[in-house]
Amino acid sequence: MKTYAGKVRALAGISFTVETGTIFGLLGPNGAGKSTTVKILTTLSRPDSGSAEVAGIDVLQQPDQVRRLIGYVSQKPQFDPEATARENLHLQGRLYGVPHRELRSRSQALLDHFGLGKVASRQARGYSGGMQRKLDVALGLIHRPKVLFLDEPTTGLDPEARASMWSEISRLAADEDVTILLTTHYLDEADQLASQLAIIDHGRLVAQGSPNDLKSELRGDAIQVELTQAGVDDHVRTTLVRLGGVREIVVEGTTVRARVDHGASAVPGVLAALESAGVAVTSVTISRPSLDDVYLRYAGRPFGDDSHHQAQASATTEMEVPGE
């Protein structure tokens, strides 16, 4: 449990375990509590109650030991913009006590891995957003951490920079046996990288499993209907509810999403009902469940219904990362 300034309840019961050498994704909308979770696990913030272990070490009892084992890449840039990439890495390495003769080769290896070799002697302030983010991740790795925390490593990156960040993150887990906890807003990122993921919303864990587990939890097909005009939410919802068999209806602007048992047989009825209710439709698509649907169902604001959340008992914050 974590409450900021005595009033903002950021976390209200989260528990998960991450297996060594795997990538765990923490998904959730803005303000869900992702960064707060990461800050507690990296010893930067203390929970009001509950406990957490990283690499088998208690973050509250032995924070110094935890800090030596982990790398942390915060959501906000951490590098010194006045210094070059190489200088940043050397400084960080000295802070972490990396032996002098190892520091040069370690820095060079990281510069090469992240494609920063060519710009290593230029001030970091002049780097592109993607290069700056890569430098931040490289800084988190200088002391060869066993566990790496990445808070939104790819937010704001273009597709190419994201793809190269993804391959570097996968490589770290696969080849160097680094255990990685990453937070993200991107479903494709979680799907691509994480072997296990948790969706959090309003400081609570609302779903957990492998991307495939979560997808297969959803019954039936997703249908998406595009309307010609927005602002008819209630009208659309009432019409579809009356039809029966249409579940989890979400209206956002001109987009209506819902779930039905058999897409192909349900669509004609949906369209007819909307037409007779005077709602004009531009297109309709049917799809098998995707991680998007899982996310919408669990963390989509329309489902972030507080009465539902209150039904769950308030629990403590128990986090164990990873089981060694």
Ligand X SMILES: Nc1ncnc2c1ncn2[C@@H]1O[C@H](COP(=O)(O)OP(=O)(O)OP(=O)(O)O)[C@@H](O)[C@H]1O
Examine residue 202 and tell whether it contacts ligand X (CB under 6 A).
Answer: no
Mark out the alpha helices in 205-290 (DSSP H runs): 211-216, 233-243, 263-276
Examine residue 193 and tell whether it contacts ligand X (CB under 6 A).
Answer: no
- In the complex with ligand X, the residue whose CB is nearer, 8 or 272, is 8
Binding part of the chain for ligand X, among 34-42, 55-63, 140-148, 188-196 by CB under 6 A, reads 34-42
Q: How far apart are CA 23 and CA 235, in angstroms?
A: 43
**Are the beta carbons of 33 and 203 closer than 8 angstroms?**
yes
- In the complex with ligand X, the residue whose CB is nearer, 92 or 184, is 184
Examine residue 31 and tell whether it contacts ligand X (CB under 6 A).
Answer: yes
Examine residue 5 and tell whether it contacts ligand X (CB under 6 A).
Answer: yes
Binding-site string for ligand X from residue 40 to residue 79, where x marks contact by CB under 6 A and - marks none: -----------------------------------x----
Q: In what order do the strands lie in the sheet with 15-19?
A: 15-19, 318-323, 51-54, 57-58
Tell me whether strands 2-4 and 57-58 are parallel, antiparallel or unpaired: unpaired
- In the complex with ligand X, the residue whose CB is nearer, 32 or 222, is 32
Query: Taking the complex as a whole, how short is the minimal distance between the CB of residue 45 and ligand X, in angstroms?
Result: 8
Binding part of the chain for ligand X, among 12-20, 25-33, 223-231, 268-276 by CB under 6 A, reads 25-33
**297: nearest Cα among 248, 247, 237, 234:** 248
Choose from Mg ion, ligand X, none: what does 8 bind? Cβ within 5-8 Å by kind.
ligand X
Examine residue 10 and tell whether it contacts ligand X (CB under 6 A).
Answer: yes
Examine residue 35 and tell whether it contacts Mg ion (CB under 5 A).
Answer: yes
List, in order, residues 6 or more apart from 289 with CB less than 8 Å away.
Answer: 215, 216, 218, 220, 221, 222
Query: Taking the complex as a whole, how short is the minimal distance between the CB of residue 11 and ligand X, in angstroms?
Result: 8
Residue in 14, 25, 34, 141 binding ligand X, rule: CB under 6 A: 34
* Beta-ladder partners of 321: 54
Choose from ligand X, Mg ion, none: what does 32 bind? Cβ within 5-8 Å by kind.
ligand X
What is the SS3 assignment for 262? coil
Examine residue 93 and tell whether it contacts ligand X (CB under 6 A).
Answer: no
List, in order, residues 6 or more apart from 197 with CB less than 8 Å away.
Answer: 24, 25, 26, 27, 190, 208, 209, 210, 211, 214
Q: How far apart are CA 140 and CA 12, in angstroms?
A: 28
List, in order, residues 6 or more apart from 32 with CB less than 8 Å away.
Answer: 200, 201, 202, 203, 299
Query: Binding residues for Mg ion, per CB under 5 A?
Result: 34-35, 75
Query: Binding residues for ligand X, per CB under 6 A?
Result: 4-5, 8, 10, 28, 30-36, 75
